[in-house]
């Protein structure tokens, strides 16, 4: 069974292609590509993010409070309506990320979000996580808000407990057709060629990685895919409003 509860620190770095190529060369000496990234392959992750009608969750998140949370449905690739996905609630408090998720069919997740009622319990579901999601879904009265997908390359360490590094690129988003099975398409979130690196660990990063980041002058940044998409949407609304009345 896949791990369904995560507690870790997540540090993000936005890389130009040259820096990405350099760090990949080093990482291959210390870490192992995960099962989806064998032979230097990428895999696609697609998500539907849920929020209140007035975007309260993401509005609060971009203000960088001590505590914030997100609700999303995640799949690997483009699922069919009755394929297995993950419904997740992701919380961050004082820099520590807690992610809890349950396996669920896409169709079951849609109905759960729509009605606020837990689906009939199946062997692949995590009852405790379903209960937490039920509380959050009904407290916030969430609805589907945005589709976000990206191509990922991921590595893990057998020596440094819990260390995982992911590289995401070609981040694309849309605020229409908000079902995963409708396909993988949307507008690019950032300039093509940039890569978002995330270091995920249970504590401090290993010395070898710290040395690599210093050598190549790679510095951490604050970057939220949903947060960036939301800010872009606001800027587009402002631009259209100004253009209309100019």
Q: Span 5-245: which CATH code?
A: 3.20.100.30
Condensed to tens digits (0 to 9), the pLDDT of residues 150-197 reads 999 999 988 776 799 999 999 999 999 999 999 999 999 988 889 999
Condensed to tens digits (0 to 9), the pLDDT of residues 121-159 reads 999 999 999 999 999 999 999 999 999 999 999 999 887
CB 58 within 8 A of CB 230: yes
Strand 143-156 relative to strand 187-188: parallel, antiparallel, unpaired? Answer: unpaired
Read out DSSP for 187-205?
EESS-TT-EEEEEEESSSP
More confident residue, 1 or 126: 126
**Average pLDDT along the chain:** 92
39 pLDDT higher than 70: no
Cα separation, 170 vs 52, whole angstroms: 27
Tokens linked to 194: 């940039």
């Amino acid at each position: 069974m896949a791990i369904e509860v995560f507690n870790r620190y997540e540090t993000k770095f936005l890389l130009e292609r040259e820096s990405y190529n350099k760090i990949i060369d080093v990482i291959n000496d210390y870490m192992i590509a995960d099962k989806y990234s064998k032979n230097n392959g990428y895999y696609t992750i697609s998500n539907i993010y849920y929020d209140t009608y007035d975007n309260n969750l993401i509005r609060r998140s971009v203000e960088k409070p001590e505590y914030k949370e997100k609700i999303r449905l995640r799949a690997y690739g483009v699922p069919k309506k009755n394929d297995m996905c993950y419904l997740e609630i992701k919380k961050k408090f004082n820099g520590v990320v807690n992610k809890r998720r349950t396996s669920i069919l896409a169709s079951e997740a849609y109905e759960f979000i729509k009605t606020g009622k837990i689906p009939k319990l199946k062997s692949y579901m995590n009852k405790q996580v379903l209960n937490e999601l039920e509380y959050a879904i009904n407290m916030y009265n969430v609805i589907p808000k945005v589709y976000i997908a990206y191509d990922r390359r991921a590595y893990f360490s057998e020596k440094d407990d819990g260390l995982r590094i992911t590289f995401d690129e070609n981040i694309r988003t849309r605020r229409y057709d908000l079902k995963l099975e409708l396909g993988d398409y949307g507008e690019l979130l950032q300039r093509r060629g940039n890569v978002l690196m995330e270091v995920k660990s249970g504590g401090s990063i290993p010395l070898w990685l710290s040395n690599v980041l210093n050598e190549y002058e790679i510095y951490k940044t604050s970057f939220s895919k949903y947060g960036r998409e939301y800010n872009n949407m606001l800027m587009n609304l402002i631009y259209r409003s100004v253009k209309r009345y100019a």
